[in-house]
Amino acid sequence: MKSALTPGYHDTPPGTVATVVTSFEMRGAPPSRPERGTGDWRLERWHDPSPDEYRELFRRVGEDWLWCSRLMMTDEELVAIIHDPKVEIRRLTAPKGAGLLELDFRAEGECELAFFGLAPELIGSGAGRWLMNRALELAWARPLTRLWVHTCTMDHPGAVDFYRRSGFIPIRRQVEIIPDPRLSGLLPEHVAPHVPCLPVG
């Protein structure tokens, strides 16, 4: 497939942000990596969360990285995904902080690690490795041929290395352009200072 982009610089439309997305996959369960303790972390299956409850955790985990895809959905669109029996959502609970793990088994024989993240209070605590080990155990307990995930240049700067150390192999690179969610009020203007919010016009 021929790319619409050519080498060089390309302006993005006013009011948007651009990010480079890298997709990763693994074709078999990797060895479990060592964990730095478990703190007081608990991982629970979250059955049929309400759209508002889901968005609250989604924001808590993702707003520093401009997660906004689920915030742009209507309640009906969101419920169609998060209440689907082939989508498993788990939340990490802790005395301080929280985490989100979402496994999407809707494609036959595959699983997408759709959302994986921690609230800021848990970053650097070891909870990320602990949560990834649980994610891999849960995914590969199924008869899968492929587990995949994507991250982008707006994510935590250690995300690419973390996924590679977890056993994922990079397979694809894309450029994504989205409306800046801070300009529409979906997210506060002060979040994600590593992605400058440009004036429109």
CATH, residue 172 = 3.40.630.30
User: Is 190 contained in some domain?
Assistant: no
Q: Is residue 180 predicted with pLDDT exceeding 70?
A: yes
Q: How high is the pLDDT of residue 2? A: 55
* 37 token code pair: 């303790």
State how far the Cα of 153 lies from the Cα of 8, in Å rounded to an integer: 18
Residue closest to 179 by CA, chosen among 78, 74, 72, 77 = 72
Provide the pLDDT confidence category of residue 200 given band limits of 50, 70 and 90.
confident
Average pLDDT estimate for 106-122? 97
Q: Is residue 36 predicted with pLDDT exceeding 80?
A: yes
Q: How high is the pLDDT of residue 3? A: 62
User: Is 52 contained in some domain?
Assistant: yes
* Number of domains, the chain: 1
Are 15 and 200 within 8 A, CB to CB? Answer: yes
User: Is 34 contained in some domain?
Assistant: no
User: Is 89 contained in some domain?
Assistant: yes
Region for 78 from its dihedrals, namely left if φ exceeds 0, alpha if ψ lies in -120 to 50, beta otherwise: alpha
- What confidence tens digit (pLDDT) does each residue in 39-78 have? 789 999 999 999 999 999 999 999 999 999 999 999 999 9
Q: Is residue 1 predicted with pLDDT exceeding 90?
A: no
User: Is 188 contained in some domain?
Assistant: no
What is the residue range of 132's domain?
Answer: 18-29+41-179
Provide the pLDDT confidence category of residue 162 given band limits of 50, 70 and 90.
very high
Are 25 and 168 within 8 A, CB to CB? Answer: yes
